[in-house]
């Protein structure tokens, strides 16, 4: 029983697929008691991998966030790490965007993070936990984006929020950081995206495990003096 109690507890949102799922699986392999969240798919697979720690919900909903956090605490009684891997992407120039597109980008990438923070803040202060949010490589450069202006608007706002929350939470021993992936092709990636992979300075595109390993390090005691930072995990993409 002591060994079980000593194992840290993580909540990974956006963990039904992609980087979120890779992160959840990696933390679980490292001994974390990992809770995952799904919204539309993959429940059976998740139940097999994370038995008793699978939650359905929409993290843009305050009620769902509070319910998910309560369920995590009911099972494991504490929370040491929160990894927020939610954030939709819409490509195209701003000229072709409607207000609903912009609203969706902000709600999915930025407001969802704030909603989750509000639901979990008290417990994270109690357990002196750490947050990880996902940005986008090059977000700090504030460059014009021809094909992803709405997405980078949302990620820039998220970075500003991460740093503000980091300063607010530091007196409570809570760390708040961002990891920013570069080009990480997935099964539904366009041919244009796949073609760009050859331009990554490191010689290959990113993989989910690259981010997962960075998350594990950032949550570890080795990074206990790091907060309010954004680290590109991108193989030099967007330098």
Predicted local distance difference test score (pLDDT) of residue 31:
97
pLDDT of 41 over the 80 cut? no
Radius of gyration, alpha carbons of the chain = 17
- In the numeric block, the tokens 């909903």 are attached to 61
Secondary structure of 101-148 in HEC code, one letter for each residue: HHHHHHHHHHHHHHHHHHHHHHHHHHHCCEEEEECCCCHHHCCCCCCE
Backbone φ, ψ for residue 56 (5° rounding)? -100, 135
67-84, pLDDT tens digit by residue? 999 999 999 999 999 999
- In the numeric block, the tokens 């331009």 are attached to 199
d(CA 162, CA 168): 10
Q: Which residues pair with 54 in a beta bridge?
A: 36
Predicted confidence band of residue 139 (pLDDT cuts 50, 70, 90) = very high
- In the numeric block, the tokens 């609903």 are attached to 100
Number of neighbouring beta carbons within 10 Å of residue 136: 27
- In the numeric block, the tokens 């014009």 are attached to 144
92-127, pLDDT tens digit by residue? 999 999 999 999 999 999 999 999 999 999 999 999
Number of neighbouring beta carbons within 10 Å of residue 116: 26
């Amino acid at each position: 029983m002591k060994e079980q109690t000593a194992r840290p507890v993580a909540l990974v949102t956006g963990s039904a697929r992609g980087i979120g799922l890779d992160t959840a699986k990696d933390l679980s392999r490292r001994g974390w008691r990992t809770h995952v969240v799904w919204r539309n798919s993959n429940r059976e697979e998740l139940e097999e991998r994370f038995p008793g720690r699978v939650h359905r919900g929409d993290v843009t909903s305050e009620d769902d966030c509070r319910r998910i956090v309560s369920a995590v605490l009911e099972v494991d009684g504490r929370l040491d790490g929160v990894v927020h891997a939610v954030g939709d992407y819409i490509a195209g120039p701003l000229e072709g965007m409607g207000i609903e597109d912009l609203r969706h980008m902000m709600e999915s990438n930025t407001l969802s993070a704030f909603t989750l923070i509000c639901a979990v803040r008290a417990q994270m202060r109690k357990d002196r936990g750490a947050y990880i949010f996902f940005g986008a490589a090059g977000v700090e450069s504030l460059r014009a984006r021809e094909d992803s202006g709405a997405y980078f608007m949302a990620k820039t706002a998220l970075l500003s929020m991460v740093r503000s929350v980091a300063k607010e939470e530091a007196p409570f021993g809570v760390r708040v950081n961002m990891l920013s992936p570069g080009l990480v092709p997935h099964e539904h990636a366009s041919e244009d995206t796949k073609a760009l992979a050859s331009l990554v300075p490191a010689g290959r595109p990113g993989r989910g495990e690259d981010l997962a390993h960075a998350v594990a390090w950032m949550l570890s005691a080795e990074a206990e003096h790091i907060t309010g930072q954004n680290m590109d995990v991108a193989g030099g993409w967007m330098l």
